[in-house]
Structure 1
Amino acid sequence: MIKRFDLRKRIVAGLIIYTCLLTIAVGVNGYIVNEKIEELVWEELLDLETTHFYKKEGLINEDLEGKESRLVWYNEGKGDVIPSIFNQLGEGIHDEIKYLDKEYIIKVIKENNNKYILALDITEIEKHEETMLVSTILLTIFAVLFVAYITYRQMDKFIGPLLALAEQLKTISPEKDVISVEGLDDRFYEYSVINAALNDYLNKSHQYIKQEKIFFETVSHELRTPISVISGAIEHLLDHPDTTTRIKPHVQRISRITAEMEELLAMLLVLARSKEKLNQYSVHIDLYKEIPSIIEYHKHLCIDKQLSVRNEIQTAFIVYAPLQLLRVTIGNLLRNAIEHSDKGIIRIYQEGSSIIIHDPGHGMTAEEISQLYRERVRAGTSSINGIGVELILKICQHYGWRLEFESEKTKGTKAILKLDASRVSME
């Protein structure tokens, strides 16, 4: 079994190590500052005490004698000249007082109308403090850059493969024979789990779509034969001399439904094919010549309605697409427009690479609509014919077209079929 790293543990371990290093660095810096200040304070204190003892015993120490003390005492009662910058300070402790290019910490005492001032030279301490401040800033900048670099590297290991996976998913299509992803680094346990789960899901989806296409194709082929037999029998029945005028309308209705069933089966066969295979059936179709025949085929739906269909395409409008697919799509949009209209004119016209079917909608009164539906129920035509808008949308998605609807109150509905502009010409 391949041993894989746990990415989560690596990221957590990296953050813990960085935190420990940063803590150590801050601690060491504070320790150095503290030690330096402590050294200066003890040095000054011991120098003062040593000088005191030497003077008390009448001894002379040449090192201490020539050394300038950092601590200065001013007694106003003895006539000591107090620098004006010190003299103007009030009672208490005052830090970082600059005098003669040096910095002092001052303690001012007032007793018996006399002022006593103790001044400690902290110039060296301040310089060391500035040095340590600069060092701390540089160390902080380095720490920020270091953690940014480490975080970027770790997050790149985490996000980079996911972005690569997203790019792969963009190119994957259920219509392809091989569907798998390899965008994740399988050295890490988490990525291997995601890889396996995604590939399993994609494989199941591919198998499901494949079985669905096989089902569509099989059913379509199995039903085609009996429907063709029924269609032939109906044609024979319509031409038979014993068929009375009373029976003929019912037979014609059966003939139309049978034709619609054949149309539906043809459409299912189209949807069972991949887009690449579908392109083999594409031909140049002039809708200027094709739409009149589509209107003629659906003219019977306007019977008993004050409704007409008008073709407003006046010039050649050539589309490169499968003939059956385009004919069925436009035909069903026209059928739906007729079903949802009562009187007026249904206009079919072209804008750019789009075909628009504009119906007038229900322009009848409530009583007229009620009467119309009662007549449809009695005639057995209350249901909408055709393959429906949902299946038309699936066709559009399958071939890269777009179907949109625009409705305005009292002005009807526009069904806008946006074709692929690269496959449309006006010549």
Structure 2
Amino acid sequence: MKASLSRRLFRTIFAVGLINVLVTLIAVEFIYEDMEDTILRLELAQERAYLEQGIGEAGRQGWHSSLLTAVYHPDGATDELPEIFRGRPVPFSAEVMIGDKTYLISIERTANRAGVLYLAQDISLLESREDVMQVGMTLLGLCMLLLCFALARVGTRRIAGPLHGLSRHIAHIHPGTAFTRITAHYDDEELADIAATLNHLLDTLEAYVQREKSLVSLASHELRTPVAVIAGALDVLEQRNSLGEADRRTVARIRRAADEMRADVETLLKLARRSGADDEAEDVALTESVREVVTELESGAPEHAGRITCYATGPAPTVQADPALVRMLLRNLIQNAIRHTPDRVNIHIGADSLRIVDTGAGLPEHVRARLADGSDRRVPEDGLGLFIVRLICERLQWRLEIRRSDEGGTVLELLFAPPGAPPVQG
């Protein structure tokens, strides 16, 4: 499964936005904490300096306000300290939770007196405001994430939207019709370049297709002419009534070969045109067609006589298709089987399938892969028989299955649709 460019673009844009949000929130939190700590400690240092100036000779002194508690404890004094300062080392500086309040405590020895100055500032209100600020920062972060999500969606659509449009336009281009050019109205230079390059490619392909169509038309004329000449010459020989029995049999074989050649030329030209509009569909009795092909092969190659056996497991099936295509399909399948096995070839005809069984060495691996891969359009260099079979099956909307192919032989099954039934699904 291939990755989606749109999803990758969305994830990338959203990830960049998420990183920016996280970095911003962390930076704001760090700066706020640093500023708060710096301001509080500066204020406490100023309070300490002011109180040290007011320390007299009277011994222990204390100061108390709504937010500040201060005690000067001279060396040697035995008075008990307030609970907030008890058991704390000298020096000491930290935030301390006592009950539901938070204090910034600073304990240091005085510079001008032999003692210790204890300071405790109530910062509970500041801490509660900090909690409110953190909630606000969290909500701000969520809003920024939603904004990043929306911007990522919009950015992805703006970037990938023209690509999807270009892809849809290309998907509507079919080889059998005139190539519709891509309108190069894109605002982005890169997409305009891609559209221009594709249009140039379409110009080249259309010229190539037109040349191939001209060659097919020319081949149609050039191939029909010699076949018509052969048929006319045979008519002249028969009209003279001067041929012996052996010569008449030879002329009959030549006529059958000429008729087959004419039919094959017409069939191959139909396949080369790729369009099924000129196919002459009619009811074809499959059992009769198989027997005609077998008779034709045995008369053309006497060494094959008696090697092909047909079995019908029910009423003779009838298919609606072009008789010339059906005959060429059957001839290639049966001929391929009898050429690659020294033993007999059995043909089993069912209501909706035809099975050809031989006892040869099996199909080569690359031939099996070619038959299985319907996307491989290359003309093989090792024979056209099965390649033509696959093209005819596609035209008739039939399916060819390899049921077995090993050293014990090959079993090919042709699945077709009787009249009125839907096409065989692959």
Using structure 2 for the length normalisation, give the TM-score: 0.70
1:286 alignment partner in structure 2: 285
- Distance across 2 between alignment mates of 1:70 and 1:326: 108
1:215 alignment partner in structure 2: 215
- Distance across 2 between alignment mates of 1:93 and 1:316: 107
Q: 1:405 aligns with which of 377, 392, 402?
A: 402
Instruction: Call closer, same or farther: CA 1:152–1:272 in 2, change over 3 Å.
Output: same
Bigger shift: 387-396 or 322-331?
Answer: 387-396
SS in structure 1 opposite 2:325? helix
Offset at residue 125 of structure 1 (A)? 4.9
Confirm or deny: 8 A CA contact 1:33 1:129 kept in the other structure: no
Offset at residue 124 of structure 1 (A)? 4.3
Bigger shift: 247-256 or 261-270?
Answer: 247-256
2:266 alignment partner in structure 1: 266
2:340 alignment partner in structure 1: 340
SS in structure 2 opposite 1:221? helix
Matches within 5 A, 1:47-196: 47-53=47-53, 66-69=65-68, 78-81=78-81, 83=83, 87=87, 97-104=96-103, 121-181=122-182, 186-196=186-196
Confirm or deny: 8 A CA contact 1:356 1:414 kept in the other structure: yes
Instruction: Call closer, same or farther: CA 1:68–1:150 in 2, change over 3 Å.
Output: closer
2:6 alignment partner in structure 1: none
Confirm or deny: 8 A CA contact 2:314 2:350 kept in the other structure: no
Instruction: Call closer, same or farther: CA 1:65–1:130 in 2, change over 3 Å.
Output: closer
- Distance across 2 between alignment mates of 1:138 and 1:233: 97
Instruction: Call closer, same or farther: CA 1:57–1:192 in 2, change over 3 Å.
Output: farther
1:6 alignment partner in structure 2: none
Structure 2 counterpart of 1:147, which letter?
C
- Distance across 2 between alignment mates of 1:175 and 1:72: 99
Instruction: Call closer, same or farther: CA 1:221–1:53 in 2, change over 3 Å.
Output: same
Structure 2 counterpart of 1:164, which letter?
G
2:327 alignment partner in structure 1: 327
Deviation readout 1:274-329 (Å, 9 max, x if unpaired): 535235x2223332443332332223366324612314253243333222222211
SS in structure 2 opposite 1:103? strand
1:304 alignment partner in structure 2: 303
Offset at residue 411 of structure 1 (A)? 3.7
Deviation readout 1:365-419 (Å, 9 max, x if unpaired): xxxxxxxxxxxxxxxxxxxx99511223233344544333343334422233344
1:366 alignment partner in structure 2: none
SS in structure 2 opposite 1:203? helix
Structure 2 counterpart of 1:217, which letter?
S
- Distance across 1 between alignment mates of 2:101 and 2:418: 83
Instruction: Call closer, same or farther: CA 1:283–1:66 in 2, change over 3 Å.
Output: same
Instruction: Call closer, same or farther: CA 1:36–1:257 in 2, change over 3 Å.
Output: same
Deviation readout 1:234-264 (Å, 9 max, x if unpaired): 465578644574x778766655553443233
Structure 2 counterpart of 1:348, which letter?
H
Listed as ranges, the gaps of 5+ residues in structure 1 are: 1-11, 59-63, 364-384
SS in structure 2 opposite 1:78? coil
Instruction: Call closer, same or farther: CA 1:35–1:94 in 2, change over 3 Å.
Output: closer
- Distance across 1 between alignment mates of 2:168 and 2:262: 41
SS in structure 1 opposite 2:282? strand
Offset at residue 213 of structure 1 (A)? 2.6
Offset at residue 159 of structure 1 (A)? 1.8
- Distance across 1 between alignment mates of 2:85 and 2:329: 98
Confirm or deny: 8 A CA contact 1:309 1:346 kept in the other structure: yes
Deviation readout 1:102-161 (Å, 9 max, x if unpaired): 234667899xxx999865645345434434433443333333332332222122122223
Structure 1 counterpart of 2:163, which letter?
L
Deviation readout 1:50-80 (Å, 9 max, x if unpaired): 344456699xxxxx96433166778996342
Q: How many residues align?
A: 381
- Distance across 1 between alignment mates of 2:26 and 2:233: 96
SS in structure 1 opposite 2:307? strand
Instruction: Call closer, same or farther: CA 1:40–1:107 in 2, change over 3 Å.
Output: closer
Confirm or deny: 8 A CA contact 2:338 2:358 kept in the other structure: yes
Instruction: Call closer, same or farther: CA 1:35–1:420 in 2, change over 3 Å.
Output: farther
Using structure 1 for the length normalisation, give the TM-score: 0.70
Confirm or deny: 8 A CA contact 2:14 2:149 kept in the other structure: no
- Distance across 1 between alignment mates of 2:105 and 2:214: 97
Structure 2 counterpart of 1:202, which letter?
L
Instruction: Call closer, same or farther: CA 1:329–1:217 in 2, change over 3 Å.
Output: farther
- Distance across 1 between alignment mates of 2:73 and 2:397: 96
- Distance across 2 between alignment mates of 1:207 and 1:118: 94
1:390 lines up with 2:387 in the alignment? yes
Offset at residue 15 of structure 1 (A)? 11
Instruction: Call closer, same or farther: CA 1:312–1:387 in 2, change over 3 Å.
Output: farther
Deviation readout 1:12-44 (Å, 9 max, x if unpaired): 999999998987776566544433433333333
- Distance across 2 between alignment mates of 1:16 and 1:317: 66
